[in-house]
C-alpha cells in the first residue's frame, strides 16, 4: 500500500505483483497519477474496479459490496462438491475437534489444499472465520473427522456463495465499535481458550479474527 498526499487530497495505491488498484478523493488527481505511472510502466487501465485477486466489487446505490462468489463456485467445482446438499450452518453447535478424533488421512494433500483455499475466503466471509481457524489447527496430521467438518464448510458455502461484506456511507464514519468474546478451555487437547473479535467503523465491519489464546486460562474471567 502506497499513499500520496497533497494538501487536502489523497491517493491510495494498492499493489500486488502486477495488479494495481488506485483510488482517492480527487478524480483529476487520480487521472494524473495514473498518467504519470503510465509514462514509467506499461499499464492497461481497466476502468472502475469490478474484480481484484478473486474478490468481486459491486457498486450499488447502497454502497460497495465485496464478495468472492466466483471463487466459491470455482472451489466447489475443484473439490467436486458443486452438487453437495447445502447446510444452514458451517458447524453444528458445541462441536469440538481433537487431534485424536478419527483415523489419520493417508494423504493429507487435499485437506491442506481445501483448508488453505478457505483461509483466503475469510477476507470477505467473517461467518466462517471461527470454523476455518478450527480446522486449520490440524494441517500437520488431519484425520477423517476433520475432513468431514471441512466438507461441511463447503456445503455451507454451496448455499451462501453470494454472501459478502457491505461498505456503506454513514453520517459519522469516525465511530468505532468493537465486540469480542472468548470461550473457556474450549480446546479438548490443550484446554486453551479461543478469542474472537469484530471491529466496526462507521457501521462497517473492517476487522475480525478468531485465535486460540497462547496460555491456559484458570477461569472464564481470565479467558475474557
What is the pLDDT at residue 173? 87
What is the pLDDT at residue 222? 81
What is the pLDDT at residue 46? 86
Which of 72, 77, 212, 209 is CA-nearest to residue 153?
72
pLDDT averaged per 10 residues, the chain (length 224): 89 91 91 89 88 93 95 97 96 92 96 98 97 97 97 98 95 93 89 95 96 88 79
Provide the residue ranges of all domains of the chain, joining segments of one domain with +.
2-47, 68-163, 171-223
What is the pLDDT at residue 10? 93
The residues, ordered by sequence, that sit 6+ positions from 153 with a Cβ below 8 Å of its Cβ are 90, 91, 118, 128, 131, 132, 135
Task: State the pTM of this model.
Answer: 0.88
φ and ψ at residue 152, rounded to 5 degrees: -65, -40
CB-neighbour burial class of residue 65 (10 A; exposed 0-12, middle 13-18, buried 19+): middle
Gap between the Cα atoms of 124 and 127, Å rounded? 9
What is the pLDDT at residue 65? 96
Residue 194's H or E segment, with its range, is strand 194-201
Which of 202, 64, 205 is CA-nearest to residue 125?
205
Roughly what angle, to the nearest 10 degrees, separates helices 109-121 and 144-159?
40
Contact 151, 83 (CB under 8 A): no
What is the pLDDT at residue 186? 87
Amino acid at each position: 500500500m502506497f499513499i500520496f498526499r497533497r494538501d487536502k487530497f489523497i491517493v491510495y495505491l494498492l499493489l500486488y505483483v502486477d495488479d494495481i488498484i488506485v483510488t482517492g478523493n480527487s478524480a483529476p488527481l487520480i487521472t494524473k497519477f495514473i498518467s504519470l505511472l503510465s509514462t514509467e510502466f506499461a499499464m492497461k487501465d481497466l476502468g472502475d474496479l469490478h474484480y481484484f485477486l478473486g474478490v468481486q466489487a459491486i457498486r450499488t446505490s447502497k454502497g460497495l459490496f465485496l464478495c468472492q462468489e466466483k471463487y466459491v463456485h470455482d472451489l466447489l467445482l475443484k473439490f467436486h462438491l458443486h452438487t453437495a446438499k447445502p447446510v444452514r450452518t458451517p458447524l453444528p453447535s458445541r462441536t469440538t475437534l481433537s487431534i485424536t478424533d478419527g483415523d489419520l488421512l493417508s494423504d493429507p494433500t487435499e485437506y491442506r489444499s481445501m483448508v488453505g483455499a478457505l483461509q483466503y475466503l475469510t477476507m470477505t466471509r467473517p461467518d466462517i472465520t471461527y470454523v476455518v481457524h478450527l480446522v486449520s489447527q490440524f494441517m500437520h496430521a488431519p484425520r477423517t473427522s476433520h475432513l468431514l467438518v471441512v466438507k461441511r464448510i463447503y456445503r455451507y458455502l454451496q448455499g451462501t456463495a453470494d454472501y459478502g461484506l457491505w461498505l456503506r456511507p454513514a453520517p459519522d464514519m469516525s465511530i468505532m465499535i468493537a465486540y469480542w468474546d472468548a470461550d473457556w478451555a474450549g480446546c479438548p487437547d490443550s484446554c486453551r481458550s479461543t478469542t474472537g473479535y469484530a471491529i466496526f467503523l462507521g457501521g462497517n465491519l473492517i476487522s475480525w479474527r478468531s485465535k486460540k489464546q497462547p496460555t491456559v486460562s484458570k477461569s472464564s474471567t481470565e479467558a475474557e
